[in-house]
Every structure is written in C-alpha cells, then in structure tokens.
Structure 1
Amino acid sequence: MNRVNKRIGYSLLAGVLLSSCAKHEMLDYLAGKPESVIAQEDINSYAPLMSYIDRNAHPNFKWGVALNMDDYLNRGVMYRLVNRNFEEMVMGYEMKHSSIVQADGSLNLSKLERLITAAKENNMALFGHTLTWHSGQNATYLNSLIAPIKLPGGGGPTWDIVTSNDFESSDNGNYEYNTNAVVSFTANGQGANGEGRALKLENESVRTNDWDVQFFIKFSPVVKAGERYTLSIDMKSDAAATFGTQAHLVPYSYKHYEFFGSFSTTPTWATFTKEIIITPEMADCSTIAFNLGKHATTFYFDNLKLTKYNEEGTGGSSEAGYALKLTNPTVVNAWEAQTVHDLTGIENNTEYILKVAAKGSKAGNISFDLQSTADYQGNGFGAIALTTDYKEYELKLTTTALRNRFIINHGQYNGTALIDHISLTKAGSNTNLLSNGDFENGISPWGGWGNSSTRSQSAKGEGYGGPGGSIIEKTPEEKKSILTEALETFIAGMLSVTKDYVKAWDVVNEPMSDWPDQYALKTGVGKAELAEDEFYWQDYLGKDYAVQAIQFARQYGNPADILFINDYGLEGGGNKCKGLIAYVDYVESQGVTVDGIGTQMHIDIKTNKDNIINMYELLAATGKLIKVSELDIGLGDGIKTPNATAEMYQKQAEMYKFVIEKYFEIIPKAQQYGITVWSPLDSPDNQYSFWRRGEPIGLWTESFVRKPAYQAVAEALEKQK
C-alpha cells in the first residue's frame, strides 16, 4: 500500500517535546488515542488518489472530477485538491448553453478561455460537458426564436399590387431563368383561358438537383417580416409535375428553402393561389424561385399577380377566432347575471393571477370572483372597465379559504361583452386552471362557462387576435430550421475556443425517457410546468437531433475527438440502459459515429449491486468506450450529514469500492475511458446548494477532511494492476 510514512514525524515531535524542558516528570497513567482519531490518521496517511493508478496497466484511463469553474480559477483549496488528486476535470455548469448563450444569442466565451489557460498550466485535461441537453438551456432566447409573429392591427383588407405579369410583352424585366432552361412564348391565344400569350419554359432532362433549372419572378420592394402576401398564377405542364419555391434575395442569391410552398401542375391550365405571412427567414427577399429541375417537361406560366395587404395588417377576422359572448339586456345586481367555471386545486392563503382580454358593445364594468360552492363565500379580483376595443387586463387576489368556482359578474352591464384569452394561474406557475380559455372549441354546459341564451360562443373573427392584430405561428418546418441553426451556432462557437485543448465531449446529455417508455426520447410535450432553463431540442428537431449535434461536433471539432452520449439511471435494473443503447444504435444507423456511452451513477448505499453488474455487462457488450461520468454515492433515504453514522460511512466506502472494482473487472481495458467523481466534497445544506443538498456524498467532508470513502477509492484504484 502506497502510504506516507509518518513514524519519523512522530519521533521528531517526541524529541522536540523532551528537549524543550529542563526537567521532565513522568505521569503515572497512560491515555490511549480514541479509535476515531486512529482511523482518521490512517486515512490521512494515504497518498493523493492519482498516485494509485498504474499507468503501465491503464495508460488511457482518465480519473476525473467535477467542480465549479470559479473554484478552479480562484486557485484556492479546491484548486490544489483537484490538481493533486485528479487528471481530468469537467465543469458542472459553466460549459452549458444557459451559461454561454446571452439574451441576444451571442456567446460569452471569455471565462471558458481563462479556464483552458489555467488547465494548461497544470496539465489538467478538460472534458466537455455538454453540447445538447434539455436542461441548462437559455430557454428564453430559444423560445424567442420560434415565437409567433404578431401582426399589427387595424387598417382593413386593402390590397396593394406589387407585381402584375401576363407575359404579353417579350420582356418586362420581372422574370429571369438560368441557362439550363429553354424559354420562349406561346402563340397568341395559347395563354390561360385561350387568351393572349404565355411564357413557355422547357427542361430537356431530369437534373441532379431541383434547383438546376430555376425560373425567377422578381418584384419590388423587398418583403418584410410580418407582411402578408398572396401569389396568384396560372400554370400547366405537358406532363404532371410537382415542384417547390424558394426565397432569394435576388436571382441566384438563396436565402430560405421555402417561399410560397409547392405546386402540382398537369397538362390543363389551373389557377393557383397561395397566401403567406413573411417570416424573418424570408425577410429582405425580392425573388421567387420556381425549382423545376426534377421534371423533364415543358412548363407554362401566365397571369402572375403578387399582392399584399396594406402595412397596417388585415384588421379582418380570419385570425381572431372565437370568444365567450355574454349578453345582459337590463341592469340588475351584479350577481344576477353570472357566468361560472367550476375548477379544482384553488388553495387557501395563496395568490392567484387572472389575465383576460375583453371588450364590450359599450363602456361599462364587469367583475370576477373566486367562490366556494359549499357556503358561497369568496374572494374578489375586482372589476374591469370595458371599452369598445379589446384590451388586456391582469388582476390578482390572495385566497382566504379553499375555492372551487370562478365567476364572471356581468349583471350591472347591460350590453354584450366579449371575453377571450382568459387564464387563471397560481403565482409562480404557468398552468391555466381554466380549461378552454380561448373558446375555440365551444364553451360547454354549466360547470364549464354555461351555454344558454345569454352565454354563447361568438362568431368566428370576434375573438382577440393579440395586441392590435393577429398572431401567426411558425410552422414545424420553420421551427426546425431556426433551431438547427441555433444549435449549430452554439456548438461551432464552443468548439472554436476549445478544440485545441478539449478532446472529448458529452455531445448529447440525458436523451432517454424515465417513464413509461424508457426506449423513447424525453419530451416536454404535455408537461404543465417547464423550468426557466428547460428546452427540449428533440421536440423540434425530431429523433435525429443527436445525429445533427454529432455532425456539428465532427464538423467544427477535431476528427479524433471522442464523442459521448450520456444518461442517468442506467444502473436501475430496468430498460433505460437498453433504451439508451438502442438509441445509440439508431443514431449510428443514420451515418454518424458515437465513440462512447456515459453512465452517471448518482446512487446510494442501498442501490442494487446486481443491477450495477448487469449495467456494466450491457455497456461492455456495445464495444463502445464506457465512462462513469458523474459518480457520487449518498446514504439512502435522503439522509443528511448531521444524521450520518460511522456504519453508514463504512457502507458508503464499500459501495465506492464496489463500483470502481466492478468497472475495471467487467469493462474491457480497451473500452475503459475513465471515472469522474461528480461531488468530491459533501454537499452543503444551504440555499446555494443545488445538488443533493445537505447529503454527505463526497470523498471529503465540506471542510476538506478525508472520509472512509477516500481510503476505499485509493485501495480500489491501486488494486487494478
């Protein structure tokens, strides 16, 4: 055993004590050291952990630790502990999306650059964690990228003609085509409806790409985000054909893969009409590109018209949807005309927030309450003053008892009120306790707004379309394109400053679902509450989100970088380990390579050891590099440091030793990437502790005193020859 020999020290100390006095008087009794002191002295006699790894037997094995970036940059006690005991470090938080990506989408990489400099000084390897995760994300920024477009209101559906072309002249400057196309004009009378001429474009052969033959329609001015356009054009083709359109800044200057969608033509003239809202990806374009290269046929175009709504938006009813319509013919007591919605979960002494959009046929007041049907007692939100235009209102109250009914009081308003976009939430929550608050699916009978002669769903278009206008959602394809670009920007930026030093990454972290299907990916769909740093890339990019992330990591990193997919709970004895392995297989079937699998192992002394063995055997069978990526071991049942016993600490030491020894025993040497201790110190029990708060999970105490687990780890490492 490689220990520090302390006997010389003790002899020297005895000599100093003897020579420091002129007279020495021997006492007539002996005091033995407490066993706890002897045990601690034995633990303290062990050398730094790194010294126990046989580099001849395990030249590629990495012994790592997780810590906060500031703890290393500040060069204090933790800095020295890490440099003495470990050879690779991973940041628990500071290399994740939410730490790097700023509110405007820019990347703040300066602190990471300082960390790399400090690591180089100590020959300390840095493991990258993590490039793609559902947590630790700047979700506010990511959600802003895919947020709906709000159209300004007012103005009415007045149209302005931007371009009109019936191709009666040979060239009016509004169209263009590439050299693969043969363009001419039909004879007079061969246009649409047997009138005039049409433009005739012939593609002689099927091309490699659809854009190898393009027909361009040019217009002015350029389009802007939020504008609404309609394209109308007559088309036919000698053979049936389906083709798409792209948005170009100018001809041959591609910007976005989609503009006015796809068209399907036949040998019969047909009029096609497409209406779109300009997205940010289409903005500043002045050209529609028709991609015709995949069809060896002749196309005909006539009577093209591109129009747009006026600058103030539609002002119409097509996007506004439905509202709740309340009618009261005469003024009575407020409670004599009520609309209610029964609900559950309204707690006592709790703040609730009501948000609503409303307008009326005339000015007047309506009010809102929460009530208990047991005794008809309640709490009031207060009243709102209706105007003849929609306005948004926000009201709050704090309950004084349990409540189970929401009430709209409109007895003193003798007019017609329209209520829309209504939500009731507990303070700090995003869960709407009122179902169907947008009234798009009717209003349901009593107990759910109450359908009657005075309470009904409005006509379509009488609903609230948002502040001053309509709200247009981005399509799933648009969201996927936007977020793919955002993921690429993040990964490219991270690797731009790390690739010279960081050679291994957790590219995808925690992809697999916990329940009920552990072969499925995690999802945020259906979750009532999402944390402010929670964003599920896979919900937008699909099952191939890991494929895309690995492609970007290969593109912007080093060819020989070691790329991992990492998850927790693999030692649980269920299907999660098998599910992760199956997903790795799927990812590789899409043409990329996953070098390794990480198993986190946040476990305790009661974790089933047979399940751990089973996990190691499953992982070993993959042939991949295997890393224990986030090892820490608690005492079970959430036991915190003040309640820990010597027996518990001994069991913790035994479990650390078991995990390490079985790793070396079961995982083939060629597949042993390494082990990382996730929490070297016991977790503090304070408001700043975000991981297993107050649990004694480390190899050292909070005061940097070695624990029995330290001794067990040293012995487990030394055993591997």
Structure 2
Amino acid sequence: MKYLNRIGLGVIAVLSMVSCADDSLLDFEVKKPESIQMYEYLKDYDLLKTYVDRTENPDFILGAGVSLNDYIQKDYRNSFISSNFDEMTAGYAMKHGAIVKDNGSMSFVGVQNFVQTAQEDGITIYGHTLCWHANQNSTYLNSIIADREIEVDPEDANNALKITTPEANANIWDWQLEYTMPTPLTEGVEYTLTMRAKASSAYTVGFWRTDGATTDYGPDIALGETWGDVIVTFTPSMNATRLQFCFGTFGGDLFFDDMVLTASGSEDNLIENGNFDADDLSQWGKPSWHAYTYLIEAIAAGPTTYWTNLVNNSDIENDDVSSFFATEANDGPNPATIGDAGTGADGVGRAIVVKSGDAPSNPWDTQFFIKGPQQLEEGQAYRFSMKVKADKAASTESQAHNEPGGYLHWSMVGSPNVTTEWQEYSNSGVISEAQAGMNTIAFNLSVFAEANTYYFDDIVWEIEESGNSIPLTPEEKRDTISYALETWMSGMLEASKDYVKAWDVVNEPMDDGNPYELKSGLNKAPEDFASDEFYWQDYLGKDYAVMAFNLARQYGNENDIHFINDYNLEYNLDKCKGLITYVEYIEAQGARVDGIGTQMHINVDSDKDKIAQMFELLAATGKLIKVSELDIGINKKTSEATEEDYQAQAEMYAYVVNKYKELIPVSQQYGITVWSPTDSPAESSWRGGEPIGLWTLNYSRKHSYAGFADALSGK
C-alpha cells in the first residue's frame, strides 16, 4: 500500500457546487451557466453509504482511507467520514513505523484515541497493517541484528607479534627478526608457512632461512595495511636452524599472528606459541651481531577471527528453503523441496530433496544451489561441509556463481562422489580472483546419465571474518526478528482488539518482477533502501506470513477476519495468481487466511478485461474479497482535467463496483474501501495534485460520486 499522508477528509454535509438562486426577485429570467447546470443533479444524491443494498448484502462494508490525526479532531472531517462510510482505514498511524520507537518501545496513545473516537461515532476500523516491508522502524529492526561487539578479557586477549622500527634504513638486512627452531628443518623437505599479517604501510618483507653458515633467500612476503593471509612454500638447502624476517628499509609497525609452519605430509605446527597468546617470546629475537635497537612485543592487536555460517536452516529443521534452490527437475518455482520426517541424515529429521531429470544433455541440466546472503571477496577463507546421499550412486560437480545461474568458476568445493548411504563431505579454501563476487555454490546433478534423487542435510558454509565485532548467524537473526515481530503484533492487537475485528495481516508480499516469488531486499544496495524499509521475509523465510497469521490469531480475537493484501493484481494477472498460490502455501502450513485484498490504484484507461479476470481469479478462491484501496486517476493533474475526463472517471468507478458485485459472490463480498474520498492535494505524497476522489478538495460531489453510488445501488 502506498500510504495516504496528507489527505484532509470530510465535511458534515456534502456541499453542492452551487447555491439555489431565488429567480422571483428578478424581473428577468436568469439562465445558469452550463458548467453549473451539469452538476446540479448531484444535489439530489443522499449520503454515500445509503446506496449499499443492505437487503441484498447486509454484510457489505463501505470503507474510506483516513488520516488518524484529522479524524480524531472531531470536526467536519470526522462527520464527513462517519456520515458517508461504514468503516475506515488509517493511512499510516497503525503501522510499525508509527508505533515503534528507535529503542524498541511502543506508544499506542494515538491508536487508543482513534478507537475511542470511532466507537463514539459508530464507525468500525479496519486494522492496517501488521506485517509489511514499508513504513517500518528499520532503524530499530536493523539495530537489533547489527554486528555484535566483541568484549575481550585482557587475560584472554588474542595477541599478535608487533615489531616497531624507528625509521627506514638503507639495506633490507638492517632490520631483522629471527625465530630459532626448536628442531632444525630438514634439508630437501618441502615446508609451508601460513600466517596473518599486516603493516602500518604496505611493505614486502624478505623471508630467509639459515644454519649460520648458509642462507636461503625468498620467497618474499607482501603485507598490506589490513590483516591478510600469507602462504609461502619453500624447501631448505640445509638443515636450517633459524627463520629470518628482514625489513631494514621499513619504518613503522609490522604485525604477525596465527603463524603455522608444517612439513609436507604433516599437520604438526613447528612454531611454538604461533598465536602469540602466551607471554613467552624466547624463541624470537635479533641476530646477536645486530647493532640496531627496535621493539618486539606481544600485544592485543591480532585479528579477532571467527566463522560465520551463511546458510539459513542448515540442519533443515524448519520449512525455510530461502538458502536453497534447484532448476529444471521439478515443477514449481523452487523444486528444492523439504522431505518428510525421517528423510534426514541417518534417518533423523528432514533433508533437502532434489530430483534430476533423465537422459540429460549436460551435467548442469539439473543444478542444486546453496545461496549465501553476501558476495565473497578474493582472499576470504571458507569451509564447507554437508551430508549427502542419493537413490543411486553418482558423481557431482560444483561451481561458483554470483547468483543461481550466474556462473563464475569451476569446482568451487570439489566434485563429491555420492553413494546410497549418508556420507559427510567437506572442503575448505580461499576465494580466488576468479571466484570473487560469488554468493552461491552450484552442484551439477546431471553428471549421472539417469534420473536420480539426491538428499542433502546438515549443510554448513562458513566464511572466516575478523574485526572487533561479529555478525549474528542467520539463526540468531531469525530468532531476534521473530521476537520483534511477535512483540510488535501482540502489542498492537492488545491495544486495539476490543474494537478492531478485521486486519490486513500481511501486506504486499509478492515481487513485481517475479510474481510467484516473495519480495526481497537481499539484492538491493544499501543506498537503494528507503529509510523505513525492512523485509521480514529475508530473515524469517517463506514462512514469515505463516508466523504473522498465527500470531494475529493468537493475540487477537478468534473470530477476527484476517486478510492478505497486494497491489497491481489487475495489472499483472500472474501476480494475482502468485498471491493465490502463496495463500495456498500459507494454509498448507496450518495458518488460516480469511480474505484477499486487492488495492486497485488504477486509471481511467486501465484494462477492463484484466480487472474482470482478476475478480474471477479471486472469486475462485472461495475467500472473502475486499477492494482495499480503490482510487482512479485520469492521467492528469486537477488543473488539467476536462469534463470528459471526469465523465470517464465516473464510468470507471461504476465499472469496478459493478464488476465486483457481478463476479464476487455475495457471500464473499467483504466490501470496498475508497482510499482517497477527496481529490489529492498538490502537496500529498500519494498521487499529489491528482483528481482521484469522489469529492473535490472542497467536498463537492463529482460525477464519480454518482457513478459509484449508482453502481452500489444497482442502477
């Protein structure tokens, strides 16, 4: 819903466009201008809600969009609404952004005043809206899932080795740091040195080995200004007793941490206290002949490293498949399905199930994707593991993608061989230049020439990160956002449930470009987010609406009427079908959806055939159907509108009402809400300056009023 911000509503009685002249006072006949005569018939119309046929449909509700602050003033705007309508929907004041403060506290004073005023006037309130991606306090919601600051106990500090030189000298050997090996390295054996390192300014350190008589030079070690991984491999030409790090031409600070030296075929670290967390630096020092002085110390400056799992629902405990996707093998938009209980690893829990097609042309004809929430950078360390089996033994292949289907590089995590028994497969590495920007691991499942069924469970894809804060895991974010949604919904429902009996529970869930998929903010750049935009579904997954409907039932009234609502359903019939499919999914998970709302922000030239088809599709659901936010533009500003435009607008209003009454069975007609009863002021954020209403800004009836009223009454 594109909410109504500054539309003033109502006068006590509808004003006619002209007053009645007493022609008997004149000694000649006065002919009224034609422009006035054509509107005089509107004076004969009654209040709008009187045109609802209460005999034919006693439950039909005629609603209006209102500004809460205007309505509770108890002036002409209040009387105008209560005189003409049965129900009202607050444009903004009952939404998350209006209620929740930046610290998470909530204020329902305005809502309580709104409810009290409505009760006094005998007009009902339609609750709008409980779960939406817009008009949210995103400041608060993003703050509760922000990276968690790491508190370090000084005694448990993650230390690093810091070397400080006062100035740059002429020769690289002028500054040297030696590590004395507890046991000499073996001539001819290949060794690998890994560590984390950085420098106060970019510098290349010389790395040498010596036995006191002979020295091996290189490979050099390039350091940047931020922590990075160093990996060097060498084979000494002697039984080296010392490792030498040379930086004589450097002035500033060098930092080494997490140093590991292993011989080929061994995992034993030959560097004692390689993480520098102990105080013992006795193996480190300057050559005995060195005349220069510089500082060597262990400090709490090492990178705080941690591993973050990128996979939602990694153990497949719930119905969230947002991290998983498959192509081609099954019907539906996401054929990566969750198996029944007992399909999981070793017969415990559930697994992701993917079926490959028969007689494939290419290994990638069926692919299984595991998608993370961020793109990975070159040099980023990762670890991957999963449990996997298939109905028939087969081999698979893996790829790096920047989105499902966006191939970047071959063999991301190797080529797992799959048997008919559960096996754990693992792989680790560092993101290469060719893999940079990837956020998806793809498995080719059509390497095997026959149709097959694969089962995946306990999928873990971790990346190593460092810094003074740690991001929450997807599971932690899910728990946090679940709690925030429950807190918000329970608070709003408790504050209003004594009077509000119908709710827009989930608003605008479907994506415009992919109308069978949910909206998402995962692929939006931070600068593209509105200040009040927050996508609950990105953290709670496809079942976010299931949770919302269950919470509405839990904290509201058992017999409340609960709607799902979206826009452009008459413009994009696939979006209408996608919404209906999503309703079916929600109910398959055990929640109840009572009705579907269609917003219908349309124009005089909107496609009438599609409007009729939309109503037919919605009627076939058997649900209550509500036209939730009807307004009709003329593709012009008010200052440009002609008599022909207003006649066309009246005809379109009449068409919508007539088609709703014709195609939606009476038992499914909840009613129609006129979103902007008057034309929109120029300064309004909603269709500003457009003549979209049934009344002018001066509360004079328009031709659209007559068209709407006549259609309501069946004329």
TM over 0.5: yes
Query: Is the partner of 2:597 in helix, strand or coil?
Result: strand
Aligned to 1:210: none
Aligned to 1:505: 503
Q: Does 1:712 align with 2:707?
A: yes
Superposition deviation, residue 505 in structure 1 = 0.2
Aligned to 1:494: 492
After superposition, give the CA deviation of every residue in 1:582-609 in whole Å (9 maximum; x if it has no partner): 0000000011110000000000011100
Query: Is the Cα contact below 8 Å between 1:4 and 1:47 reproduced in 2?
Result: no
Aligned to 1:39: 38
Q: Distance in 2 between matches of 1:718 and 1:389?
A: 84
Query: Is the Cα contact below 8 Å between 1:97 and 1:136 reproduced in 2?
Result: yes
Distance change (3 Å), C-alpha of 1:442 and 1:552: closer
Q: Distance in 2 between matches of 1:60 and 1:42?
A: 30
Match of 1:697 among 688, 692, 701: 692
Superposition deviation, residue 696 in structure 1 = 1.3
Letter in 2 for 1:488: E
Superposition deviation, residue 574 in structure 1 = 2.9
Q: Distance in 2 between matches of 1:119 and 1:486?
A: 29
Q: Does 1:118 align with 2:113?
A: no
Aligned to 2:524: 527
Query: Is the partner of 2:518 in helix, strand or coil?
Result: coil
Match of 1:660 among 634, 648, 657: 657
Distance change (3 Å), C-alpha of 1:389 and 1:493: farther
Alignment of 1:451-466 (within 5 A): 465-466=466-467
Superposition deviation, residue 323 in structure 1 = 9.7
Aligned to 1:106: 105
Query: Is the Cα contact below 8 Å between 1:660 and 1:716 reproduced in 2?
Result: yes
Aligned to 2:672: 675
Aligned to 2:202: 326
Distance change (3 Å), C-alpha of 1:701 and 1:4: closer
Superposition deviation, residue 622 in structure 1 = 0.4
**Identity fraction in percent:** 49
Q: Distance in 1 between matches of 2:134 and 2:495?
A: 23
After superposition, give the CA deviation of every residue in 1:469-502 in whole Å (9 maximum; x if it has no partner): 3x21111111111111111111110111111100
Q: Distance in 2 between matches of 1:322 and 1:565?
A: 54
Q: Distance in 1 between matches of 2:199 and 2:88?
A: 57
Query: Is the partner of 2:570 in helix, strand or coil?
Result: helix
Distance change (3 Å), C-alpha of 1:98 and 1:699: same
Query: Is the partner of 2:202 in helix, strand or coil?
Result: strand
Letter in 2 for 1:717: L
Alignment of 1:326-405 (within 5 A): 326-327=202-203
After superposition, give the CA deviation of every residue in 1:398-447 in whole Å (9 maximum; x if it has no partner): xxxxxxxxxxxxxxxxxxxx9xxxxxxxxxxxxxxxx98997488969xx
Distance change (3 Å), C-alpha of 1:389 and 1:325: closer
Alignment of 1:160-239 (within 5 A): none
Aligned to 1:484: 482
Q: Distance in 2 between matches of 1:537 and 1:325?
A: 43
Alignment of 1:557-596 (within 5 A): 557-596=556-595
Superposition deviation, residue 322 in structure 1 = 8.4
Query: Is the Cα contact below 8 Å between 2:94 and 2:111 reproduced in 1?
Result: yes
> What's the TM-score once normalised by structure 2's chain length?
0.56
Query: Is the Cα contact below 8 Å between 2:15 and 2:700 reproduced in 1?
Result: no
Query: Is the Cα contact below 8 Å between 1:321 and 1:464 reproduced in 2?
Result: no
Letter in 2 for 1:114: N
Match of 2:644 among 643, 647, 652: 647
Q: Distance in 1 between matches of 2:377 and 2:612?
A: 52
Superposition deviation, residue 646 in structure 1 = 1.3
Alignment of 1:419-434 (within 5 A): none
Letter in 1 for 2:642: T
Query: Is the partner of 2:39 in helix, strand or coil?
Result: helix
Q: Distance in 1 between matches of 2:200 and 2:634?
A: 56
Distance change (3 Å), C-alpha of 1:323 and 1:115: farther
Q: Does 1:66 align with 2:65?
A: yes
Aligned to 1:191: none
Q: Distance in 2 between matches of 1:598 and 1:389?
A: 63
Q: Distance in 1 between matches of 2:661 and 2:51?
A: 14
Aligned to 1:205: none
Q: Does 1:50 align with 2:45?
A: no
After superposition, give the CA deviation of every residue in 1:132-159 in whole Å (9 maximum; x if it has no partner): 0011111110111111111146947459
Letter in 1 for 2:658: E
Q: Distance in 2 between matches of 1:538 and 1:695?
A: 34
Q: Distance in 2 between matches of 1:678 and 1:389?
A: 65
Q: Distance in 2 between matches of 1:574 and 1:324?
A: 60
Superposition deviation, residue 77 in structure 1 = 2.9
Q: Does 1:97 align with 2:96?
A: yes
Q: Does 1:628 align with 2:627?
A: yes
After superposition, give the CA deviation of every residue in 1:537-588 in whole Å (9 maximum; x if it has no partner): 0111111111101111111111110000000011014300000000000000
Query: Is the Cα contact below 8 Å between 1:573 and 1:614 reproduced in 2?
Result: no
Q: Distance in 1 between matches of 2:379 and 2:43?
A: 69
Query: Is the Cα contact below 8 Å between 1:104 and 1:141 reproduced in 2?
Result: yes
After superposition, give the CA deviation of every residue in 1:254-275 in whole Å (9 maximum; x if it has no partner): xxxxxxxxxxxxxxxxxxxxxx
Query: Is the partner of 1:544 in helix, strand or coil?
Result: helix
In structure 2, runs of 5+ residues without a counterpart are 1-12, 159-193, 206-223, 228-250, 256-301, 303-374, 381-429, 438-463
Letter in 2 for 1:700: W
Query: Is the Cα contact below 8 Å between 1:681 and 1:702 reproduced in 2?
Result: yes
Superposition deviation, residue 326 in structure 1 = 3.0
Query: Is the Cα contact below 8 Å between 1:64 and 1:674 reproduced in 2?
Result: yes
Aligned to 1:605: 604
Q: Distance in 1 between matches of 2:114 and 2:14?
A: 32
Aligned to 2:147: 148
Q: Distance in 1 between matches of 2:710 and 2:504?
A: 29
After superposition, give the CA deviation of every residue in 1:34-92 in whole Å (9 maximum; x if it has no partner): 22101222123311101111211110000000011011011233212111110100001
Aligned to 2:136: 137
Distance change (3 Å), C-alpha of 1:77 and 1:150: same
Query: Is the partner of 1:628 in helix, strand or coil?
Result: strand
Query: Is the partner of 2:542 in helix, strand or coil?
Result: coil
Query: Is the Cα contact below 8 Å between 1:322 and 1:439 reproduced in 2?
Result: no
Superposition deviation, residue 649 in structure 1 = 1.3
> What's the TM-score once normalised by structure 1's chain length?
0.55
Q: Distance in 2 between matches of 1:143 and 1:55?
A: 48
Query: Is the partner of 1:543 in helix, strand or coil?
Result: helix
Query: Is the Cα contact below 8 Å between 2:201 and 2:252 reproduced in 1?
Result: no
Superposition deviation, residue 387 in structure 1 = 8.6
Superposition deviation, residue 33 in structure 1 = 1.5
After superposition, give the CA deviation of every residue in 1:7-51 in whole Å (9 maximum; x if it has no partner): xx959x456x47xxxxxxx34xx4421221012221233111011
Distance change (3 Å), C-alpha of 1:437 and 1:585: closer
Q: Distance in 2 between matches of 1:323 and 1:650?
A: 75
